[in-house]
C-alpha cells in the first residue's frame, strides 16, 4: 500500500479528535499559567489547613466544639502574626541593615587578616599548595561575596514578593 492510500483510508474523526485534544491541552496550559498565583494560594491554604487540623482535632476532643477550636486557633495565629509584625520584622530589618552596613568593613578585615594568617602557617610539605589556596581565596573573595549577596538578595526579594502576593490574595479576594 502506498502512503497516500493509507491516508485516504483513514477517517476524519481521528484527525478531528487529535486537533481537539491539542486545543484542549493548550487551553488547559494557558489557563493554568494565568491562574498560577491563585492556584498557589489555594494550595498553600490546603497545606496550612492540613498542618493545623491535628490541633483543631485535639482541641475538639478535649473540651471545645469545632467552631470554638477554629476561633481559638485563629486567635492564636493572630497573636503570633501581630507579634511577628510588631517585633520580629523590625528586628530582622534592623539586623539586616546593620549587616549590610558593616559587611564591607568586615570583608576588609578578613582580607587583611588572611595574609597575616598565611605568613604564620608552617612551611611543611605541601605549603605551596596551601599558599596558592589562600592567595586564590583572597583574590576570589570579592566574587564570592558578590555571588552570595546576589543570591541572598534574590532569596529575600523572592520571599518578600511571595508573602506580598499571599497577603494580597487574602485581603483583596
Of 35, 27, 153, 30, nearest in space to 100 by CA: 153
Q: In angstroms, what CA-CA distances link 160 with 37, 121, 153? A: 15, 44, 10
pTM: 0.43
Structure confidence at residue 13 (pLDDT): 76
Average confidence (pLDDT) per 10 residues, the chain, 173 residues: 55 80 92 81 86 90 90 92 85 82 79 73 67 76 76 78 72 62
Beta-strand runs (E) in 21-78: none
Structure confidence at residue 99 (pLDDT): 80
Phi, then psi, of 100 in degrees rounded to 5: -70, -35
Other Cβ atoms within 10 Å of 127 Cβ, number: 12
Structure confidence at residue 121 (pLDDT): 65
Structure confidence at residue 2 (pLDDT): 53
Amino acid at each position: 500500500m502506498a502512503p497516500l492510500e493509507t491516508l485516504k483510508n483513514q477517517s476524519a474523526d481521528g484527525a478531528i479528535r487529535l486537533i481537539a485534544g491539542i486545543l484542549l491541552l493548550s487551553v488547559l496550559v494557558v489557563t493554568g499559567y494565568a491562574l498560577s498565583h491563585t492556584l498557589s494560594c489555594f494550595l498553600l491554604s490546603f497545606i496550612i489547613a492540613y498542618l493545623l487540623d491535628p490541633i483543631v482535632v485535639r482541641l475538639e476532643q478535649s473540651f471545645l466544639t469545632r467552631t470554638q477550636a477554629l476561633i481559638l486557633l485563629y486567635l492564636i495565629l493572630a497573636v503570633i502574626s501581630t507579634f511577628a509584625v510588631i517585633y520580629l520584622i523590625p528586628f530582622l530589618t534592623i539586623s539586616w541593615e546593620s549587616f549590610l552596613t558593616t559587611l564591607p568593613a568586615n570583608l576588609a578585615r578578613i582580607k587583611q587578616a588572611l595574609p597575616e594568617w598565611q605568613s604564620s602557617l608552617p612551611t611543611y610539605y605541601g605549603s605551596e599548595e596551601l599558599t596558592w589556596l589562600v592567595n586564590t581565596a583572597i583574590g576570589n573573595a570579592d566574587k564570592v561575596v558578590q555571588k552570595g549577596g546576589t543570591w541572598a538578595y534574590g532569596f529575600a526579594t523572592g520571599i518578600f514578593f511571595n508573602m506580598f502576593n499571599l497577603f494580597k490574595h487574602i485581603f483583596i479576594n
